[in-house]
Amino acid sequence: MVSQLFDVSNKVILVTGGGSGIGYGISLGYVKNGCKVYICSRDFEKCKKTAEELSKIGPGKCIAIKADLSKNAEIKVLFKEFSKYEDHLDCLVNNSGCNWGEDLENYPEHAWDKVMNLNVKAVFYTSLEALPFLKKNASPDSPSRIINIGSVDGIRVPNLETYAYSTSKAALHQLTKVLANKLAGEDYNILVNVIACGPFMSKMTQKTFTDFKDIIIGSIATGRFGNNDDLEGLCVFLTSKASNYITGSVIPLEGGLLIKPNL
């Protein structure tokens, strides 16, 4: 039955940066489909409040864990804390990220390092720390998952001067393919894919998207921003049996932004 193909109920999910923006939409989708979702953020009070809100929506539940993934030591703390609740993980969603816009001549080194550290390095080491939990229940018929949240700006040349961000997302797309190749075999049974997101309204994007709304909407074939239903649909698919034969893929979720001609 089709419903069984897409069933993710009772799966254990960890969404980094799951308390806001795209991460919130992803976490909401999993909770609505009966998953047990862990979200982490350096702002624990906000993260805890979001977890309580999502748990009330149900039928799944949400638990908050404090972690600043820009620091390797805290990645280890994250999984030490996670191990108090669970002995396995069905899906890791590497969503935490940051951006920095600055004109070329003045682009600061500390900004480059901050963006590359969180958007690429932290994803790699979070995935490594998660491996024992992801391997625990994984099998060829029921593989575990890693879903990385990339960007269309890792595919195209961005309109804004976000040099480190677009570079980091292109690197993340390549890292996804390399990890997918390594983890697909019987030693791991883990599928790794990346969602290249287009314009989704969030705290990070709100000012830019508000100031340039008409221009951005005009560049999208479907004529709208992405929403939580869009995130839910693709993430549930990539976590379900329906996607058991997909790994190493960069999947655009951008409403036709990449196919719209620039006139």
Residues catalogued as catalytic? 165
- Number of Cβ atoms within 10 Å of the Cβ of 256: 13
CA distance 139 to 129: 19
> Are the CB atoms for 120 and 175 separated by under 8 Å?
yes
Secondary structure in 3-state letters for 199-229: CECCCCCHHHHHHCHHHHHHCCCCCCCECHH
Tokens of 199: 């314009």
CA distance 253 to 167: 19
Residues forming a β-bridge with 40: 16, 65
* Nearest residue to 173 via CA among 86, 249, 258: 249
230 CB-near residues (< 8 Å, 6+ apart): 200, 253
**Angle (nearest 5°) at CA 117 between 113 and 121:** 145
> Are the CB atoms for 165 and 99 separated by under 8 Å?
yes
CA distance 82 to 68: 14
